[in-house]
């Protein structure tokens, strides 16, 4: 099932300013918390990162990384990119996914940046 994004007036490309990631053998762009894939005909599809062994949706209370200071609260304007993952939203921190969970961040695995 694909969901075509209607009236998408921004053209994603190598220099469009959005973070490009590798997903399932193709390139997608992170755009306002969505994963956008541009088809050859220029239409834009909504993609979603599946929960997988590379990107598990598990709790990692011991995750300590220097990606941000402890106490950082991820949110719409926190400075990190939102990434749709499974049925939730994660944030891209230093090339991996952070999922805010109580007083810590879960590590939901790496993203391949293009």
What is the binding site for Zn ion (CB under 5 A)?
Answer: 12, 16, 18, 23, 28-29, 37, 47, 57, 59, 65, 67, 74, 78, 80, 85, 90-91, 98-99, 101, 105-106, 108
Query: Shortest distance, CB of residue 110 to Zn ion, whole angstroms?
Result: 10
Nearer of residues 106 and 111 to Zn ion, judged by Cβ: 106
CA distance linking residue 23 with residue 49, whole number of Å: 8
CA distance linking residue 35 with residue 11, whole number of Å: 14
State the sign of the Cα–Cα–Cα–Cα dihedral 79, 86, 51, 39: negative
Query: Shortest distance, CB of residue 25 to Zn ion, whole angstroms?
Result: 9
Residue 42 Cα distances to 4, 9, 16, 50, 72, angstroms: 11, 11, 14, 24, 38
Nearer of residues 23 and 111 to Zn ion, judged by Cβ: 23
Nearer of residues 29 and 111 to Zn ion, judged by Cβ: 29
Query: Which residues, at least 6 apart from 39, have a Cβ–Cβ distance to it below 8 Å?
Result: 45
Query: Shortest distance, CB of residue 113 to Zn ion, whole angstroms?
Result: 14
Nearer of residues 101 and 112 to Zn ion, judged by Cβ: 101
- In terms of residues, how long is the chain? 114
Query: Shortest distance, CB of residue 1 to Zn ion, whole angstroms?
Result: 13
């Amino acid at each position: 099932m694909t969901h075509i994004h209607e009236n998408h007036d921004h053209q994603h490309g190598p220099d469009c300013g959005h973070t490009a990631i590798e997903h399932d053998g193709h390139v997608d762009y992170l755009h306002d918390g969505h994963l956008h894939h541009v088809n050859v005909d220029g239409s834009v599809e909504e993609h979603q990162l599946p929960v997988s062994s590379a990107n598990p949706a598990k709790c990692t209370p011991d995750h300590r990384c220097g990606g941000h200071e402890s106490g950082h609260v991820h949110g719409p304007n926190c400075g990190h990119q939102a990434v749709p993952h499974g049925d939730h939203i994660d944030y891209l921190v230093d090339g991996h996914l952070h999922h805010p969970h109580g007083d810590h961040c879960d590590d939901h695995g790496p993203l391949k940046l293009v």
